[in-house]
Structure 1
């Protein structure tokens, strides 16, 4: 059975649709995405696979974006920043666990670099200038955070944030935090592949499908039409 908070999010969105309210941030709803320069500092890896963890609001949309990126082997929704015992959707939703809704991205660095994933993350996956919120969602669990795996990822992420801020790419300073050495916990099965499985869900239509279109427009060289989906048991 799906969680009560899953239904609450849907009911709230449906009510706002009926009222004609704007459900999404100007960033996410823009007809054109925000093109930003690539990172000046990036890694060069010959490994077969690598992992990155990003948080940027509701994990449905972030997962959906990275599932459409060429070179991504898997993108799993989950939680990072808190303890294992509190990595439960209903508990994380209270905003007191330290967790952020996050997505673990497994990728082939020979096809898409960590820096390129950061560029997608800051450009189309979410609005990095919003503090502890994203679109209609509020709370620290929706914060913009990079969870680097290793010192090199941390260095690249920090350098890129400094680069974008110095260039004044965004109208406000980037609010994204860098939180290293945090464990990722996969979310419940009903959250996986949510965007693909529920394309008509109001929240997805207004908040997340524009991100996929922006990815296709801004990054045509790495856009993949058919998403790579998480295999969910049961």
Structure 2
């Protein structure tokens, strides 16, 4: 059985983040799930997370084969699908649950995340993204999993789209 690793990112509303990562990395064998990380509650729910009371971020967790997908490519993609300059928001979605975070699972992931972040600063002049060790993962309720596949006309944050680095220059 191939080796599998986890990568966890928060970049605003988890529905759009999951859709973009699944489209890009699903064909390479990555699986996605949405959930909550980085807070204090031991039983977060969507309603509680949205209230800001739990401190959790809406997050995406990928399980992937590192022989097929490099962690650095996941971090690079993360920076290209949202606006990492915004603290606790993405577009009209405002609150700590929408903050930009890279949750690292290993010291190697932290090193790579910091390297890619330094390179991203060449494009995004200021970055509010936090890089912190992963904490307990809480899967979101079933109706949130693959939500935009199940609800094609569901809400998508307009900030979530794949950008080329040349589009970002000067922002």
Alignment of 1:59-208 (within 5 A): 59-68=14-23, 69=25, 70-124=27-81, 126-165=82-121, 167=122, 169-170=123-124, 172-201=125-154, 203-204=155-156, 207=158
Instruction: Choose between structure 1 and 2: higher strand proportion.
Output: 2
TM-score, with normalisation over the residues of structure 1? 0.64
2:79–2:120 contact (8 Å) kept in structure 1: no
**5+ residue gaps, structure 2:** 165-171
Instruction: Choose between structure 1 and 2: higher helix proportion.
Output: 1
After superposition, the C-alpha distances for 1:107-154 in whole angstroms (9 at most, x for unaligned) are 111111100011111012x11111100111101110000000011101
TM-score, with normalisation over the residues of structure 2? 0.86
| CA root-mean-square deviation | 1.8
1:55–1:143 contact (8 Å) kept in structure 2: yes
Looking at structure 2, the residues matched to 181 and 197 of structure 1 have their Cα atoms a distance apart, in angstroms, of: 28
Q: Alpha-carbon deviation of 1:72?
A: 4.1
Q: What is the aligned residue count?
A: 161
1:66–1:72 contact (8 Å) kept in structure 2: no
Q: Which residue of 2 aligns with 1:30?
A: none
**5+ residue gaps, structure 1:** 1-46, 219-234
